[in-house]
Structure 1
């Protein structure tokens, strides 16, 4: 169980706290890892060649300064004294030589282990060898540690918590702590755990976000076709991890980043537009940007978008907000977040099969049309083209034209005279149904459709109204959720790290009931029917678990 003391360090004001130098990892890591491209088929030259290519093709200069070894770097047995041994065939010069070489080129080296008895690839795990392995990795000059979660003694949350807790104690007590990439949550996500009960997943996310600097939360992204899992569509794989990521925005803060896995940009099943969308979405999330590809063979088009300065600036923005969904439907997803200088990010994803246009209103972006009327225009920059445009306030919002199938449009909207109000969908993170208003004021949960009835503004004092009914706010009316004018005065709501949205008057939690009923019921512990996602910028408070 997570203590209140631990979670007090987790809870932050999302949107106001910014990364500081005191954070062990103030900004999302960027670099290279071998797994999605090479899996266990690795050797020294892969990392040496990647470093050389990244030094020449602009990736290092753009900030991709980490090179991380994944599984299969060791022999199949430990040494007689219990220490790990690097494979002398794969790494003839040794790992101390490799880390020294990488550092001489300007890179920070990282290494992999598994928390269980045996790694996912069949190599020695770290279970009951945590102290000696930490000493070994430190002596070899690694500064970043990915800890996987295969082959644990059992699959209980308590066991994972206890074993990863040992690592947390070791790393946090070190003179120069290694960055921890924690894969524990992935083993409790729906696809891997084989369960529809998400409570354990969120429990693990709670302590993983307190223990490390980044946490893998769901499935491996599709590996290259010559890997054992290489069949299928990278687009489908990427969208799956994207769909997991949007459930978890409440955990992200400066110093901790949700990790939706690698940028597998050279997978041949991607179109160019799909690869660019993959990158743009990860930048919008301020997610780790760890490329897993054949770096020397990347095309110039791939290098060009991976080094897009405007998108990298979004990813590395010191607020490190994870963009959240303004609206979601069958064809279009719209996401926003704020940036440290007051600018607003707008990302539009075309999930459809044909090119299309979309207009996103000022209110949907989190701005006020009324406030903007005092100005003639809003300045916006197209982050793909670099074009700076002045959009007339009278246009009603930003129009993105000719977004290709599976492509994105990304705009950086300059700080304006309008205040920013957290705005977006409120959705059940299990069913993914959206809280939906109605002209009659009857509120339900329904399939997300991108309408104004499903886009909500969370006002500074916790009152919540839909764009459909801007003068009415949701209330707990004896257990039924309604939108009423009186609610904008009487009913404020509090959002907790648990995902509970709690009515301040009744102390009851927003709940998705049978047949989409929106109700207020007694708060349970991270129940499927009560964990909801809210737009970024809402204050998130800690929980006692």
Structure 2
């Protein structure tokens, strides 16, 4: 009896799971597109192919966008062995063929599942099928998994996401894991080794500054989501990002200035840039916002430092973000409904990032100032700045040392 017990115990210790994400992925915030904000459950393979085509033809791929992510409701049924299949009416060619098409465009394919028994849209979830699903996704050629948190009765988030991380590891294909449990269980405290990004809030709502109350839960406007990022920047960096949810730019309810402000602030807080609009019918103004390479460069900066709120005066917030080569991004955000005049005396500023040990030394260094939306240089820090920021808009600058 002793020998049998000893053998059993020994065998148990011979196998341990690797609960860590794939390293070396998402070293800058992921950039791509997701179907949910615009299309919800109305997804099919023809639309996804068209989105991949549009990501290339509109210049988004050239601007850095990579992922075409299918959100909820792609699912069909599980077979007798428990393996998931796509809805045969919506995806008759199968996911492998769709992944091959997306890859042929130089893009990557993302998919969606849920840690519970059912997805938020009532399709089969991955609970109890994590390893099978991960094997299936790998066989299809999936590159990104958004993993949601509906119908998770009794589960603990950290453990559930570690199970999926282990399953993806076991399947062997490097996949970006997007933790989407809405920030309820403080994923920033445990998600760094488990996933590559984690939602910090509930769902975004297509509104600049308002709340949509569903009774038992709420959706949040762009400004409300931004406010919820306070005190989280210490947790973000290359390969592990705070995710304030997808972009609402181009979905018709934000004004052009609000689109610009939304994009600028997501860049400043090093958020994933996941578009949520119809890429096939974008206006030139929407394309201009989503493909502004100078703003994207702030988001994609290799230091991976999330920006911080430096000051607030009236309706204007001042934000700074340290960048590589001792550059800095500076953004004035006017949250009010009236234009505001900005007077900025450079020599009076003491800008220090005490978490990442960066300092903007305007007293001893002259910085060139570039307006990232006007795409032009506007002087240096030798001269104090006085300008106006329109309502619900930004002035976004890059400061570069003239050494």
Q: TM-score, with normalisation over the residues of structure 1? A: 0.64
**1: CA distance between counterparts of 2:367 and 2:176?**
40
Q: Which residue of the other structure, out of 343, 358, 377, is the alignment partner of 1:388?
A: 377
**2: CA distance between counterparts of 1:90 and 1:230?**
32
Alignment correspondent of 2:236: 252
Q: Which residue of the other structure, out of 165, 170, 174, is the alignment partner of 1:168?
A: 165
Alignment correspondent of 2:34: 33
Alignment correspondent of 2:356: none
1:489-508 to 2 correspondence within 5 Å? none
Q: Is the 8 A contact 2:268 2:307 kept in 1?
A: yes
Q: Is the 8 A contact 2:310 2:318 kept in 1?
A: yes
Q: Which residue of the other structure, out of 336, 355, 361, is the alignment partner of 2:339?
A: 355
Alignment correspondent of 2:305: 321
Q: CA deviation at 1:173?
A: 4.6
**1: CA distance between counterparts of 2:23 and 2:160?**
27
**1:148 partnered with 2:148:** yes
Q: Is the 8 A contact 1:344 1:415 kept in 2?
A: no
**1:179 partnered with 2:176:** yes
**1:241 partnered with 2:225:** yes
Q: Secondary structure at the match of 2:102?
A: helix
**1: CA distance between counterparts of 2:89 and 2:170?**
34
Q: CA deviation at 1:407?
A: 0.1
**2: CA distance between counterparts of 1:236 and 1:117?**
26
**1:275 partnered with 2:259:** yes
**2: CA distance between counterparts of 1:175 and 1:252?**
26
Q: Is the 8 A contact 1:335 1:348 kept in 2?
A: yes
**1:117 partnered with 2:101:** no
**2: CA distance between counterparts of 1:181 and 1:347?**
28
Alignment correspondent of 2:68: 67
Once the two structures are superposed, residues 459-501 of structure 1 have per-residue CA deviations (whole angstroms, 9 ceiling, x without a partner) of: xxxxxxxxxxxxxxxxxxxxxxxxxxxxxxxxxxxxxxxxxxx
Q: Is the 8 A contact 1:37 1:223 kept in 2?
A: no
Q: Secondary structure at the match of 1:371?
A: coil
Residue 56 to residue 283, structure 1, CA distance change in 2 (3 Å): same
Q: CA deviation at 1:306?
A: 1.0
**1: CA distance between counterparts of 2:382 and 2:259?**
33
Q: Secondary structure at the match of 1:180?
A: strand
**1: CA distance between counterparts of 2:341 and 2:171?**
53
**1: CA distance between counterparts of 2:24 and 2:134?**
21
Q: Is the 8 A contact 2:183 2:198 kept in 1?
A: no
For structure 2, the 5+ residue unaligned runs are 1-19, 353-359
Q: CA deviation at 1:177?
A: 2.4
Q: Is the 8 A contact 1:330 1:351 kept in 2?
A: no
Once the two structures are superposed, residues 179-230 of structure 1 have per-residue CA deviations (whole angstroms, 9 ceiling, x without a partner) of: 100012x151xxxxxxxxxxxx43x321123211111111111269xxxx89
Once the two structures are superposed, residues 267-295 of structure 1 have per-residue CA deviations (whole angstroms, 9 ceiling, x without a partner) of: 22211100111111111122111101111
Q: Secondary structure at the match of 2:160?
A: helix
Q: CA deviation at 1:341?
A: 1.4
**2: CA distance between counterparts of 1:390 and 1:329?**
24
Q: Is the 8 A contact 1:222 1:230 kept in 2?
A: no
Q: Is the 8 A contact 1:346 1:365 kept in 2?
A: no
Once the two structures are superposed, residues 15-61 of structure 1 have per-residue CA deviations (whole angstroms, 9 ceiling, x without a partner) of: xxxxxx96222111111100010001111122111111111111111
1:413-432 to 2 correspondence within 5 Å? 413-415=399-401
**1:47 partnered with 2:30:** no
**2: CA distance between counterparts of 1:285 and 1:392?**
24
Once the two structures are superposed, residues 437-460 of structure 1 have per-residue CA deviations (whole angstroms, 9 ceiling, x without a partner) of: xxxxxxxxxxxxxxxxxxxxxxxx
Alignment correspondent of 2:364: 371
**1:218 partnered with 2:201:** yes
**1:412 partnered with 2:398:** yes
Alignment correspondent of 1:81: 81
For structure 1, the 5+ residue unaligned runs are 1-8, 11-20, 189-200, 418-545
Q: Secondary structure at the match of 1:116?
A: coil
Once the two structures are superposed, residues 400-443 of structure 1 have per-residue CA deviations (whole angstroms, 9 ceiling, x without a partner) of: x22110100111011256xxxxxxxxxxxxxxxxxxxxxxxxxx
Give RMSD over aligned pairs.
2.3
Q: Is the 8 A contact 1:40 1:72 kept in 2?
A: yes
Q: CA deviation at 1:168?
A: 2.1
**1: CA distance between counterparts of 2:67 and 2:193?**
22
Once the two structures are superposed, residues 303-360 of structure 1 have per-residue CA deviations (whole angstroms, 9 ceiling, x without a partner) of: 0121111111111110111110101355011110111111111011001111122133
Q: Secondary structure at the match of 1:290?
A: strand
**2: CA distance between counterparts of 1:135 and 1:83?**
9
Q: How many residues align?
A: 367
Alignment correspondent of 1:298: 282
Residue 387 to residue 134, structure 1, CA distance change in 2 (3 Å): same
Q: TM-score, with normalisation over the residues of structure 2? A: 0.86
**1: CA distance between counterparts of 2:303 and 2:148?**
28
Alignment correspondent of 1:287: 271
Q: Is the 8 A contact 2:32 2:273 kept in 1?
A: yes
Alignment correspondent of 2:128: 128
Once the two structures are superposed, residues 222-261 of structure 1 have per-residue CA deviations (whole angstroms, 9 ceiling, x without a partner) of: 269xxxx899xxx961111111123311110111111111
Q: Secondary structure at the match of 2:320?
A: strand
Alignment correspondent of 1:438: none
Alignment correspondent of 1:536: none
**1:266 partnered with 2:250:** yes
Residue 394 to residue 275, structure 1, CA distance change in 2 (3 Å): closer
Q: CA deviation at 1:392?
A: 5.0
